[in-house]
Structure 1
Amino acid sequence: MKDQNVSAIKSQAIMLVTENEAVTRMVEEAFPSEYENRVTENTNTFRALNGTALQIAFKHDVVIFEIDPDDTGEVQAIEDVLAHRDDDTLFVALTQNDLSISKARELRKIGIDEVLPLSIDGEGLKAAVGEKISARRVSQTNFAGGVAALGKVIPVAKSRGGVGASTVAVNLACSLVGGKRSFFRKSAKNRVALLDFDIQFGNSNVFLDIEDNGGFLQLIENSEVPDDHFLSSILQEHALGVDVLCAPAPMVPLQSMRSDVIKGMLDLLQRRYDYVVIDLPCAVVDWVEPIFKQATQLALVTDTTVPCVRQARRLIDFYREVNVGLSVEIVVNRERNTLIKTSHVREAEKVLETSLKHWLPDNPKVARNSVDFGRPVVDMKPQSDLGKALAKLAAVMSVDAQSLATKKA
């Protein structure tokens, strides 16, 4: 992913607004002229630029500037510029290292794409800008007739806590990206987002070795339907090509989220990603309704014990009240399929009214190493029995999601 980000920032016109010579040197080193980048330095502030800031800023691909969030005049001047934004110019603010989350959120609310500490080095700045530019260049798939295809929403639910739904969600998301490191060796790469909505006990980020950046808390505290710039600031790009929204590190109430916020998020994400995989909480809450209204299919992770099968049946009935035609894929975890079905498997299929097609074998060593090293099974041990089963599940769900979305369209 590093090489991809470096290539994304070639041939960029960059406007730099700073009086700090050290910042100027750092930016020029991060975006060298030999890569056909053009850095235009301006020692004035936005307030001093006045009306000319509009003409100057939007002629560039990236605007990098210093800002003191307590300087209300300068903040207002930048907000006035951003109010006239009608193109893809990227605005990156450099500010004090100990900036609070609330002040960073206020800067993002006026339209600033990225807020970075002044202590950041050239490589860090280059990587941050490269990620934003890569996200802007996402191309949308078109259906015949020219209508933009919306991404497929795939929630992953669990019949009980600890059944392995997070393992399924993370590996499903990574496999759906495609490329040489996944099951889809001959397919083009897809844009995939992984949202950990298990807001009290979610740990999908652990499987990917990502630390919570406070994005989910910002989403909760913001209490407004997010825009595209805000979503870009809270999603974290993983090296395997998945953009991740981590569950909040602090414990928060289950009712912290609102349905309108969830719907607004999904509306934006479906235009930007091919797949949106959602790890759901082990609870039924009001704000999951828009998820299932927009879902293409559901992956329900369970085992074949009587309590789990009964709970799975209840969940299917509940979710189909929201989306009558919802396609449900039952994933049996930590059990191996047998040629001759046992009586309890036949009984489970009878209760669930479907054939159990997806089985993930119990391989505790591979599963444990995956968590300990922070690498998904499909990346670390793709040739293991568990890795192959997870990749096969993703392949089937990818094909099914495409056909279901086409029928719906």
Structure 2
Amino acid sequence: MTEKNVSTLKSHSVMLVSENEDIAQIVADVFPAGEDNLITENASSFQALNGTALQLAFKHDLVIFEIDPDDAGEVAAIKDVLEHRDDSTLFVALTQNDLTITKARELRKIGIDEVLPLSIDSEGLKAAVSEKISARNTPQTAFQNTAATLGKVIPIAKARGGAGASTVAVNLACSLAGGKGSMFRKAKKSRVALLDFDLQFGNSNVFLDLEDNGGFMQLIENAEKPDDRFLSSILQEHAMGVDVLCAPAPMVPLHSMRPEIVEGMLDLLQQRYDYIVIDLPCAIVEWVEPIFKRAAQLALVTDTTVPSVRQARRLIDFYREANMTLPVEIVVSRERNTLMRPSHVREAEKVLETKLRHWLPDNPKVARNSVDLGRPIVDIKPQSDLGKALGKLAAAVSAEVQPVAVKST
């Protein structure tokens, strides 16, 4: 994706529909006049604009307005404007802080690009608007060329809960993105998405100091394939260069997702990103099949205990039912490799039918600091034994994953 600059927003024409002086000041802070921004204030509602709203709105790059979702007349007025919209004007609604996900979804369905709380500060508004403007400006036609390649889907599975799969997923995604602290930082940066599909116990966001924005719950409640605009709105950009879909904060049933929703997401994401890293639940669910049909590589995190090795073998067999040629990298977590292979390691390699190449040493201090600070290990301690091991894993995955050609239609 294009880089998003949230430090300044230059040369924009903004229409503000609000009588709230605090909101007016926040908008002025985000779009300072000294940077060639022009703000037109309309201290009224869309209903009160008496037919002039349409002409006024589409003369601006951005329309920021207050709306009460329970005010049917005002909702109808903005809906009428949006029915005549083109893609050049961005509409951002400010509404009550305790708005339910259902009502927010209803506002987005009529065409509003972003729904934000009235309590938002200037930094929050700046970040949200900048992300939307950047997403709007990202060329979409470039991804439709049938000669292009699709992004590589890399699922991260685990043989047991607590194996460290989220640590692997987060640090792998950040390394592949070539962000600060990554061993790939001198190379051309890749576009990377990280999806936390561990619906019930996902915590990838904790490693990145991100809060759930409710996007996954909206995706589930919509119960339909997302479009590109909606998918862009629920992904959160991290400073390490990764766009993240957090697992839902509320506990939801694993069957809440459906295969067609996952398939629709991957259709869009593979056109936009170079890598899609997916943190999977420790469960067998129907909707993982589209992931493994498209997977270019699987990283399976385990230890070398007998129960974990047996479960890892079962998972490999199950996932290969969807993709018989799926390459699998076994990642041994919290164990250090030794020159002489102990008997239990040799037995594990025999059961898994592969040499155990990737070992993540047990370093509880570094791992704990990563979680407490909300920063990936490859960022805060890339030269630690654990940081180096994660970097080597990312290098191996990057080297072995091959481009996937788009099929001609």
Is TM-score (shorter-chain normalized) higher than 0.5? Answer: yes
Query: What is the letter of the counterpart of residue 78 of structure 1?
Result: I
Distance 2:137 2:189 in 1: 14
Structure 1 residue 174 and structure 2 residue 174: aligned?
yes
1:278-357 maps to which residues of 2 (within 5 A)? 278-357=278-357
Distance 2:173 2:88 in 1: 28
Equivalent residues in 2 for 1:55-70, closer than 5 Å: 55-70=55-70
CA 1:83–1:399: 2 relative to 1, 3 Å: farther
Give the letter aligned to residue 116 of structure 1: L
TM-superposition CA deviations, 1:292-323 (whole Å, max 9, x none): 12222111111122222221121111111112
CA shift digits 1:164-221 (9 cap, x unpaired): 1111011111111114421102122222221111111111122222222332222222
Matched, 1:5 2:25: no
Alignment correspondent of 1:270:
270
1:405 aligned partner, one-letter code: V
The residue that corresponds to 1:72 in the other structure is 72
Equivalence for 1:157: 157
For the 8 Å contact 1:194–1:242, the answer to whether it is kept is: yes
What's the secondary structure of 1:106's corresponding residue? helix
**Matches of 1:333 and 1:262 in 2, distance apart?**
28
After TM superposition, the structure 1 stretch with the greater mean CA deviation from structure 2, 97-106 or 55-64, is: 55-64
> What amino acid does structure 1 have at the position aligned with 2:26?
M
C-alpha displacement of 1:374? 1.8
**Counterpart mapping for 1:45-124 below 5 A:** 45-49=45-49, 53-124=53-124
Question: Structure 2 unaligned runs (5+)?
Answer: none
For 2:150, what is the secondary structure of its paired residue?
Answer: coil
Q: Which residue of 2 aligns with 1:41?
A: 41
- 1:351, distance to aligned residue in structure 2 (A): 2.1
Structure 2 vs 1, CA of residues 79 and 148 (structure 1 numbering), >3 Å: closer, same or farther?
farther
- Shift in CA distance, 84/343, structure 1 to aligned 2, threshold 3 Å: farther
Matched residues in 1 for 2:174 and 2:294: separation? 21
The one-letter amino acid paired with 1:361 is: P
In the other structure, the counterpart of 1:241 is 241
Q: Summarize the Cα distance change of 1:355–1:146 in structure 2 as closer, same or farther, 3 Å threshold.
A: same
Letter in 1 for 2:42: N
Contact 2:147 2:405 in 1 (8 A): no
Mapped partners of 1:374, 1:121: distance in 2 = 22
Runs (5+) with no aligned partner, structure 1: none
RMSD value, Cα: 2.6
1:197 aligns with 2:193: no
Q: Secondary structure at the match of 1:27?
A: helix
Which residue pairs with 1:229 in the alignment?
229
> Bigger CA drift: 295-304 or 212-221?
212-221
Q: Map 1:9-28 onto structure 2 (within 5 A).
A: 9-28=9-28
**Structure 1 Cα separation of the partners of residues 303 and 349 of structure 2:** 12
Query: Do the aligned residues in 2 keep the contact of 1:335 with 1:360 (CA within 8 Å)?
Result: yes
Is the partner of 1:5 in helix, strand or coil? coil
Q: CA deviation at 1:360?
A: 1.2
> C-alpha distance in 1, partners of 2:4/2:390?
27
Q: Offset at 1:140? A: 7.5
Aligned residues: 406
Between stretches 119-128 and 132-141, larger displacement belongs to 132-141
Tell me how far 1:94 sits from its aligned partner.
Answer: 1.1
In the TM superposition, residue 341 of structure 1 has moved relative to its aligned partner by 2.7
> What secondary structure sits across from 1:70 in the alignment?
coil
Shift of 1:234: 2.5
Q: Distance in 2 between matches of 1:65 and 1:85?
A: 16
Q: Does 1:128 align with 2:125?
A: no
User: 1:380, CA displacement in angstroms?
Assistant: 1.2
Residues 155 and 278, structure 1, Cα contact 8 Å, conserved in 2: yes
Contact 2:181 2:380 in 1 (8 A): no
Structure-2-length-normalised TM-score:
0.90
Q: Distance in 1 between matches of 2:142 and 2:52?
A: 39
- Structure 1 counterpart of 2:168, which letter? V
Moved more, 95-104 or 253-262: 95-104
Does the Cα contact within 8 Å between 1:112 and 1:229 map onto a contact in 2? Answer: no
Distance 1:179-1:203 versus aligned 2 partners, 3 A rule: closer
